[in-house]
A and B are shown apart, each in its own frame.
Chain A
Amino acid sequence: MAMNELKENGITILAVDGNLDAEGTQAMEEKVLSLLAGGETCLLFDFSDLDYINSSGLRVLVLAYQRLKKASGKIAICGIKDYIQEVFEVSGYDKIFPLFPNRGDALTGM
C-alpha cells in the first residue's frame, strides 16, 4: 500500500494505492487520525489505484465520516473500481459517502 497526500482548493486529497489489508488499513487509520487531529475538515479519498479493501478499511472511512460530520466537515471518495464499489453498495455505505468517478469531478462537486 502507498499513500500520497496533497491539498487542492482547500481539500485534502489522500490517494491510496494497492491493498488496504490489515497493515495498509492501520497505516491509513494513523494518517486519517493525524489529519483530523490537525484540524482537516475536508477529505477526499482517491481510490483510483486501490485494489483491495476489507471491513476494517471501511471502518476507518466510517470513523472519518463520523468525526467530520460532528465538525461540519466534508468527506468524499473518488475513482473506486467497480468491484470495490460493490462492497460499498452491499454495506450500504454508498448512501453515506459521496462517490465520484474521478478526482476532477470530486473537486468540483464537493
Chain B
Amino acid sequence: MSMADTITFQMSNKMNCFHHFQPRVEEFGEKHGLPVKVVFHLNLVLDELITNIISYGYTDFDEHPINVRVGIEDDVITIRIEDDAEPFNILEAPEPEFDVPLEERIRPVGGMGVHLVKSMVNNIDYKREDGKNVLVLTKNISKPCCLVKG
C-alpha cells in the first residue's frame, strides 16, 4: 500500500529552533510508525542545518523566514529547507580534519554538524534559486545510509 504525507512549517531565525520543530517531527514519526532512530536522524538533520542557517547565514539583524517541509512516500523521507540567507552549499562545506589528532585540530568539531547530516541521509540536492537556498535531502528508511561513513 502506498502512503504519502507531508508536514510543513515556517520558522524564523529569531526562534528557538529545536523546540519549534521537534514536537512536529515526533508527531510525524508516531503517525507513520517510524523507528526511534529514524526520528532522531530527522531531528538531528533539521537541528544541524537550521542552526547553521541561523548562526552563520545572515549579514543583517532582521527577522527571516525559514520554510521547512518533511514528507514521506512509502520508504522515502524528503526534507526540504528554503531560506533567504547567504548562499551556502552544504555539499561544498569542508569535512572535519579526521586525519589530525583531536588535540591538534584547529577547528575541534569544525564541519562535524554537516558531516553528521551527510551520514544520515542518502541524497542531498542544493540549488540557489531566486535569492534563496533550496536544500532537498532524501532518506530511504529501507536502505542503509549514507553519503559518508565515519
Contacts and interface: CB of A to CB of B under 8 A. Distances in A.
Contact of B112 (A55, A84, A86): A55
A104 interface: no
B105 to A, nearest CB: 9
Interface residues of A, number: 26
Contacts of B63: none
Interface string A70-110: 00000000000011101101111000100000000000000
Given A69-B103, A90-B119, A96-B102, A58 B19 contact: no
- Secondary structure at the B interface, as helix, strand, loop or mixed, is helix
A21 B102 contact: no
Interface stretch (A2-10, A30-38, A39-47, A60-68): A60-68
Interface of A: 19, 21-23, 51-52, 54-56, 58-59, 62-63, 65-66, 69, 82-84, 86-87, 89-92, 96
